Amino acid sequence: MTPSSGTGLGTGAGAGMHSIALASQLQQVAGALQDILGGRSGSAVLDDVPAPLRPGVQALLFQVLRKLGWAQAIRRQLAPRTPRPPVDALLCTALALLADAEHLPYEPFTLVNQTIEAAKQSSAVRAQAPFINACLRRFLRERAPLQQAIANDLQAQWNHPRWWVQRLQKDHPQHWQQILEANNLQAPMVLRINKQKGTSAQYQKALAAIDIEASLVGESGLVLRRGVPVQALPGFAEGMVSVQDAAAQLAAPLLLSGLELGQDPHQPLRVLDACAAPGGKTAHLLEWMGPEAAVQVTALDIDPLRCARIDDTLQRLGLQRPEQVQVLAADAGRPQDWWPQRCGGQLFDAILLDAPCTASGIVRRHPDVRWLRRETDIAQLAQTQARLLATLWPLLRPGGRLLYCTCSVFLAEGEQQVKAFLAHHTDAGLLPSPGHLWPGKSGKPGTVPDNLSGEHDGFFYALLQKTAP
């Protein structure tokens, strides 16, 4: 999604969209929901929505995705036989938007009437408009008994797949409820200030001057009271600031603190960002070290199009310095294809492995993730993570550090992964690390700076050091 999408456009669904018929928005939302349930990502489906409709459709879609488990359970009470996908998607869209009786985006009868209008406008749904109308009006009449009938439905209660809830209950028996509660909230917009161009305190004052409230978080971050388009941020185009969650902002200082930051131009610090796109952490590494540091950062991504996003990020921030960074379209799991030729076969001083994962820690920002994932994905991704760890470890010099991280709250992608790695690599030691961070305002106490514990996504960090032979 675009940088502003992570700001949570899930409030005020109709704000600024009154000139566009609600029926047209509902039709687009239902189509997007059907595609997501068919396996497409929210980013991809929103890219297909006409630009004038996109802000309102995204806001409504996010609201629907956060109430989808409840809506599907209610629909099963109203219609035990599952309707055809386009009909089911529109019916569940309306039910999800009716879920929170105290904070409805529209009056119930307006929403029902516009849903029927959306059905009539769709050739795939038109014949079932009377059926949708009957279901929704029955729901308005019998809301209380229908809700009572699904009171013990785990998926309806938590709006996550049943297997997801059960996995969290097993992984985090003391905290699974607060993780799920946080996942169903809208994430705030968080900024990282480019320390080469200013401080977070200075930027906070610049925001206050244009009536944007923000609070300090972490070493270089600000949490905005309300999200704004990135174009509204002072100095965004000039590279003063980036959008990055507070937990993700821990990567660069965790990896680099305590290392000799490239003081000798004849022996530059060699850093690998192994899964770098879209470039936020690569940029933070370079910002942290500064323009005068003798450093060679290699940023990899397997997708050439995503590598172009890394280049765009570095260019906007004024960090595209050939003497400091090279961006390679290459597979981190096949170093034989790039390490000897492009890196001279030299060992790295530091490696950042932000490994592919379920993204179970960033559901607040991407509510489609919970409905896209399958339980089998965890084991498959854990295998990929283990392979990358084992493949990249030989590229690290003795005494060097590898920071393994995932935006996941599942133990198989974090704590268990690192335990298995340490058991098979006697030359690896675990340095003080945050471990698993829970999403939202619960923050795992004692593992992160005090002023970070108030707000961040779910993450896992393990800092590993290679011992001398």
Contact between residue 294 and residue 265 where contact means Cβ atoms under 8 Å apart: yes
Contacts of 415 (CB under 8 A, 6+ apart): 435, 436, 460
Per 3-state DSSP, the chain is made up of helix, strand and coil in percentages (nearest 5) of 45, 15, 40
In degrees rounded to 5, what are phi and psi of residue 79?
-145, 90
> Alpha-carbon torsion 318, 315, 286, 266, what sign?
negative
Annotation says 343 is catalytic: no
Q: DSSP letters of 47-76?
A: HTS-TTTHHHHHHHHHHHHHTHHHHHHHHH
- Please give the torsion angle defined by the CA atoms of residues 359, 391, 398 and 339, in that order, rounded to the nearest 10 degrees: -100
Contact between residue 300 and residue 328 where contact means Cβ atoms under 8 Å apart: yes
Say what angle helices 85-97 and 108-121 make with each other, to 10 degrees.
160
Set 135, 343, 405, 407: catalytic member: 407
Contact between residue 438 and residue 458 where contact means Cβ atoms under 8 Å apart: yes
Q: Are strands 221-224 and 214-217 parallel, antiparallel or unpaired?
A: antiparallel
Nearest to 139 by CA among 65, 73, 69: 73
Contact between residue 168 and residue 154 where contact means Cβ atoms under 8 Å apart: no
User: In this structure, what DSSP letter does residue 268 have?
Assistant: P
Residues with catalytic annotation?
Answer: 407
